Homo-oligomer: A and B are copies of this chain.
Amino acid sequence: MTTAVVAVDVGGTTVKASVVDDRGSRRYHRTAPSAGGDDTVAVIRTLIDALRADALADGLDVLAAGVVTPGLVDAGTGRVAYASNLGWRDLDLRAALEGPLGLPVSVGHDVRAAGRAERHLGAARGAGDFVLLQLGTGIAAAVVTEGALVSGAGSAAGEAGHMPVYPGGEPCPCGKRGCLEAYASGAAIARRYRAAGGRDGATARGVAGLLGRDPIADQVWDEAVTALALGVSTLTMVLDPALVVLGGGLALAGDALLRPVERALPELLVWRAAPRIRLSTLGTTGGEWGAAIEAFGLTASARCVEAWSRPVAPAV
């Protein structure tokens, strides 16, 4: 019987879940709105149950589930100390899922899991020292050194969106000023474009679509990319990564994001070479792929181990 896991990526607005089989194929996909607090835990359980039923009907044996979330997540204990978007505080997420489901469940951090996925299946395949910058509504990083993910003393490493790139600069929704995220996140690009007199209702994706045709879009995008390059230069000085992967929704802008970052770096680094910069190949599914890898890690099946160490072209 083919074995599989259910992989769940819990976001502030949507919970995304898939069945991934031991050949590394994504077989079923379901989403549901996050409900907040305990209700989100119930949503996760319901999604896993539904996908397990989908899988079973297709002759797949689900061995484990992997769940990744934002916030302060301790993968060792399966607890989430704090996740502001989800209204969780000191939640034993693993226990809340394993008992009712009767299934082993791994609990991980969404962006670190995405970093794991980039290393196993994506743009950082085989890289020992790299950084994934996940550029979505907010910005966070997965830092990998000699093949190991950096979690930090309190599971809070990777808050690259809140590096102070312009001290005393624009207010960030986090309460600080001048954070990278205040210039270069999807939310910031949309907000700054509107504040500069741009069209109503434009999203970051919309702004990217207006480049070369709308001077306000050009300027806001340029400022975002400049802030991003500054952040990359700081990460380069401190960590000396071989590679920086740009992921998340903003990376769907492709070369419009990649090329100006590449162009800005030599001037910022002066006396050292820039790391390679690549776009994520996993798009916005990195968290789910990472959750699948972590769930396979709970199983003892050699086929499963094979599934996540083999190069797989994921169905993004």
Residues of chain A at the chain B interface (Cβ within 8 Å) = 128-130, 141, 143, 145-146, 148, 150-160, 162-167, 174-176, 230, 233-235, 237-243, 268-272, 275
Contacts and interface: CB of A to CB of B under 8 A. Distances in A.
Nearest to A146: B148
A167 B168 CA distance: 12
A177 to B, nearest CB: 9
What are the 10 tightest A-B residue pairs by CB atom distance, in nearest-first order?
Answer: A152-B240, A153-B242, A157-B240, A129-B153, A156-B240, A159-B237, A175-B270, A145-B150, A163-B234, A176-B270
Contacts of A271: 174-176
Nearest to A269: B176
Contacts of A143: 238-239
A268 B148 contact: no
Given A238-B141, A238-B158, A270-B174, A148 B148 contact: yes
B157 A239 contact: yes
A157 B154 CA distance: 22
30 contacts: A128-B153, A129-B152, A129-B153, A130-B153, A143-B239, A145-B148, A146-B148, A146-B151, A148-B148, A152-B239, A153-B240, A153-B275, A154-B240, A155-B240, A157-B238, A158-B240, A159-B237, A159-B238, A159-B240, A160-B237, A163-B238, A164-B165, A164-B230, A164-B234, A164-B268, A175-B270, A175-B271, A234-B238, A238-B238, A238-B239
A148 B129 CA distance: 13
Contacts of A174: 270-271
Contacts of A269: 176
Nearest to A273: B154
Contact of A272 (B146, B148, B156): B156
B157 A233 contact: no
A152 B241 CA distance: 6
A155 B145 CA distance: 12
A152 to B, nearest CB: 2
A244 to B, nearest CB: 11
A145 B143 CA distance: 11
A198 to B, nearest CB: 24
Contact of A167 (B162, B176, B230): B230
A269 to B, nearest CB: 8
Contacts of A130: 153
Contacts of A176: 268-271
Given A153-B240, A153-B243, A235-B238, 4 more contacts: A145-B148, A157-B240, A174-B270, A176-B268
Contacts of A154: 240, 242
A86 B270 CA distance: 20
Contacts of A165: 164, 167
